[in-house]
């Protein structure tokens, strides 16, 4: 079964064709990140305008890559269903994808499957070694940090999450304070990679809130205040060098990675799942991936560790199509609406 997936929840416009939920036939991603880099963040109105321009070229390119040389009619004859992200996300952006998908579904008489973007992130793990259930899954993205227990496809229970900022948001906001370009996460991580302590013990340590509390909650909003204070202090002392920026970046990354991994390892030891699935844009972070690999082994966790290849962690339509294959319900298009407030368990 071949599903055409469409994703436009934030600033990416993506279309992918996935066979049986596990094989990517084509995956095209157009990002307006360069445009947003000029303003230091996503301007929703601008993102949606760009997506209106990109959506049909992206879908056409995706169909051409999967079925080169055939007519549009032949291409759509190969597609069994269309899947689209309905939320959460920016309303203008979501509407571009949802309305395009509804139109294509109507014109080509294909079932339309609404997909929850957060649940779908987890399905980027189905393109490699298939995870076994029960699983614990962590979605760490720009707007969410959600830990869920997954008994089977479509059977998710919320375990924990952030009380305030998401992990990706913490990367983005602290990167901005440090004067690093948008998108913050990968740029902060790059700056952190340049930091060499030179063997001295230097005194910057950012807090890991709630680390001693029971339960599975995080809090990342204090990090931006702590970073702003450190930056002010260094500025006042005339010491805000490139080296100090990379030093702070390294400590921020360490604080986020530490908090995320330690709580998840605790949950894995308590719940004893067969698999642990990491997903979402922040899962592209090398330090986070490496620390999970090491800590799961050193804590004797029996769960197999799954993380998508880095380019499938950030927003793209491949996992939208995969999720639709495993848990999608074909419902009347008139009942499908964009819902910016959708949660991982709604």
Contacting residues toward Zn ion, per CB under 5 A: 141, 315
Site string for ligand KG4, 98-137 (x = CB under 6 A): ----------------------------------------
Nearer to Zn ion, 251 or 315 (CB): 315
Least CB distance to ligand KG4 at residue 314 (A): 4
Alpha-carbon distance 268 to 285, whole Å?
Answer: 20
Least CB distance to ligand KG4 at residue 143 (A): 5
Alpha-carbon distance 167 to 142, whole Å?
Answer: 7
> Nearest Cα to 313, choosing from 285, 280, 335, 343?
280
Nearer to ligand KG4, 4 or 282 (CB): 282
| Phi, psi of 39, deg, nearest 5 | -105, 0
Site string for ligand KG4, 136-175 (x = CB under 6 A): -----xxx------------------------x--xx---
Residues 6+ apart with CB under 8 A from 116: 85, 86, 87, 88, 323, 342, 344, 346
Nearer to ligand KG4, 51 or 105 (CB): 51
The angle, 0 to 180 degrees and rounded to 10, between the axes of the packed helices 286-298 and 242-271 is 40
| Phi, psi of 274, deg, nearest 5 | -80, -30
Least CB distance to ligand KG4 at residue 267 (A): 21
Nearer to ligand KG4, 143 or 209 (CB): 143
Residues in the chain: 346
Least CB distance to ligand KG4 at residue 334 (A): 27
Which residue sits closest to ligand KG4, CB atoms considered?
Answer: 281
> Nearest Cα to 320, choosing from 91, 116, 172?
116
From the number of C-beta atoms within 10 Å of its C-beta (0-12, 13-18, 19+), residue 160 rates as: middle
Residues that bind ligand KG4 (CB under 6 A): 10, 141-143, 168, 171-172, 183-186, 189, 280-282, 284-285, 314-315
């Amino acid at each position: 079964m071949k599903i055409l997936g469409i994703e436009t929840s934030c600033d990416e416009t993506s279309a992918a064709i996935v066979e049986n939920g596990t094989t990517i036939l084509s995956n095209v991603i157009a990002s307006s990140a360069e445009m947003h880099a000029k303003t230091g963040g996503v301007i929703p109105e601008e993102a949606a305008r760009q997506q209106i321009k990109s959506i049909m070229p992206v879908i056409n390119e995706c169909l051409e890559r999967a079925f080169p040389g055939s007519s549009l009619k032949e291409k759509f004859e190969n597609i069994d269903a269309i899947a689209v992200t309905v939320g959460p996300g920016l309303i203008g952006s979501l509407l571009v994808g949802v309305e395009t998908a509804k139109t294509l579904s109507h014109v080509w008489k294909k079932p339309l499957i609404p997909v929850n973007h957060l649940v779908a992130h987890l399905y980027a793990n189905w393109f490699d070694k298939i995870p076994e259930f029960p699983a614990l899954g962590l979605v760490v993205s720009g707007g969410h940090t959600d830990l869920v227990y997954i008994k089977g496809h479509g059977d998710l229970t919320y375990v924990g999450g952030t009380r305030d900022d998401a992990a990706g948001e913490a990367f983005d906001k602290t990167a901005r304070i440090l004067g690093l370009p948008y998108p913050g996460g990968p740029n902060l991580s790059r700056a952190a990679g340049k930091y060499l302590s030179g063997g001295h013990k230097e005194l910057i340590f950012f807090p890991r809130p709630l680390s001693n509390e029971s339960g599975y909650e995080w809090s990342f909003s204090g990090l931006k205040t702590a970073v702003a204070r450190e930056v002010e202090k260094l500025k006042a002392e005339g010491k805000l060098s490139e080296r100090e920026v990379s030093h702070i970046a390294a400590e921020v990354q360490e604080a986020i990675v530490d908090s995320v991994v330690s709580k998840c390892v605790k949950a894995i030891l308590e719940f004893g799942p067969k698999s642990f699935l990491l997903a979402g844009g922040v899962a592209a972070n090398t330090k986070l991936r490496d620390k999970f690999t090491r800590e799961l082994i050193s804590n004797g966790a029996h769960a197999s560790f799954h993380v998508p290849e880095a380019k499938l962690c950030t927003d793209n339509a491949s996992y939208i199509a995969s999720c639709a294959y495993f848990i999608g319900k074909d419902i009347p298009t008139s009942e499908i609406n964009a819902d910016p407030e959708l949660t991982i368990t709604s």
